[in-house]
Structures are given as structure tokens and as C-alpha cells.
Amino acid sequence: MVALLNLVRSCGYLALLQMANGQPFRGGIDVGVGAEVSRRGGEVDIYGPALVRAYELESKTARYPRIAVGQGLPQTLSAVLAHEEDHTVSEIQKNAAGAIQEMLFQAPDGVLMLDFLGKAFKTRGAGSMDGQTVRKAHDFVAAQTQRWSADTSKEGLKLYGRYRELATYFERRMYLWS
């Protein structure tokens, strides 16, 4: 769980940093069974249904610069949080699972996503992220929304709608970063 928390923190941090630098990306995170397969030269590949779901989340579900989350992650978090044990490791795992759970958000379009602008991410996940970087990311999103609003082509209309959704998300969360 601690490694997963670090992954979620890193993804949120990078999503904001890349937007601030004008290089947005979208992504997908899911959890499930996987297998490591060694190749010649010592390289290791990971295969499994969670990897396929993460790819599908990125390519089909995310739609705009955000990180979509598959159902395997909240199911795993719920299982960890429901587990009752008195060991220190268990409490550490539960704290990490709780932190991750707080960093998830159901977007208005129904997609579960990493809430990289939310209160929990700011207090438990942002690390060295500052308001200036978030403002730069916000400015980038606003500029892209403006840019694509003037393009009446099919692609322009599609991108305008997607950046408008992202801009709305920013507008609803920016007060946390002021």
C-alpha cells in the first residue's frame, strides 16, 4: 500500500507539473493480478489484466489530461481498510490505503479519477508542489480552452469540450491552492 500511495502521489504530481510545463498527459491506474516475465538481457516485463485495463483507461476513458482510475483500485483499498489486525504493518497499510482513497474523485462524467487538485492530495500527496505550479497548470488549461474555443473544426470542438471539462475541475478546486 505504501508503494501504491507513492505511485499515486507521483502520478498526481507529474500530471500537474506536466500541465504547468505545457506538456499534459492522460493516464490510467488499476490494480490486479500480474506476472513478471524475464527477457534475455535481464529485462523484466509485467503482463496481466490490470495492465490492459490501465491502458484502456488511458486510451478510452480518460479523454482529457487526467488520470482515470479502474475499479480494481477502490476494491483493493476497501479490502485493506476492512481487514482487522493489530499489527503495526497493518496500520501502516490502512493509513496508506485511506490516504489513497481520499485522493480519488468521481468526476461529473462518472469517471473515477485521481483528484490531483483536491484537499487530500494537497495535504497528503503533493510533497513539494506549490501554488505557483498549480497556477501555471491552471493558466495552461485556460489557454487551451480559449485556443480550442475558436476552432470550429470537428477536432477543435472535441478538444474544446475536453479542455472545458478540465477547466471546470480546476475552477472548482483552485481555492485550495490560493
In the 3-class helix/strand/coil scheme, how is 20-89 assigned residue by residue?
HCCCCCCEEECCCCCEEEECHHHCEEEECHHHHHHHHHHHHHCCCCCEEECCHHHHHHHHHHHCCCCCHH
Residue 72 lies in a domain: yes
The more confidently predicted of residues 61 and 89 is: 61
Q: At residue 89, does pLDDT exceed 90?
A: no
Residue 158 lies in a domain: no
Contact 169, 117 (CB under 8 A): yes
pLDDT digits (tens, 9 = 90+) for 6-61: 999 999 999 999 999 999 999 999 998 878 888 888 888 888 888 899 999 999 99
3-state secondary structure of 129: coil
Residues 6+ apart with CB under 8 A from 122: 129, 176, 177
- pLDDT at residue 39, as a whole number: 83
Task: Supply the range of the domain harboring residue 13.
Answer: 2-127
Residue 99 lies in a domain: yes
- pLDDT at residue 85, as a whole number: 72
Residue 81 lies in a domain: yes
Residues 6+ apart with CB under 8 A from 83: 90, 93, 94
Total count of domains within the chain: 1
Residue 166 lies in a domain: no
Residue 162 lies in a domain: no
Region 173-178 average pLDDT: 90
Residue 109 lies in a domain: yes
Contact 140, 55 (CB under 8 A): no
Rounded Cα–Cα distance for residues 125 and 130 (Å): 12
**First CA to last CA across the chain, in angstroms?**
31
Task: Band the pLDDT of 88: cuts 50, 70, 90.
Answer: low
Q: At residue 112, does pLDDT exceed 80?
A: yes
Residue 156 lies in a domain: no
Please give the order of strands across the beta sheet that includes 27-29: 27-29, 67-69, 112-114, 104-106
- pLDDT at residue 148, as a whole number: 97
DSSP-based helix, strand, coil % in the chain, nearest 5: 60, 10, 25
pTM, entire model: 0.89
Region 89-111 average pLDDT: 92
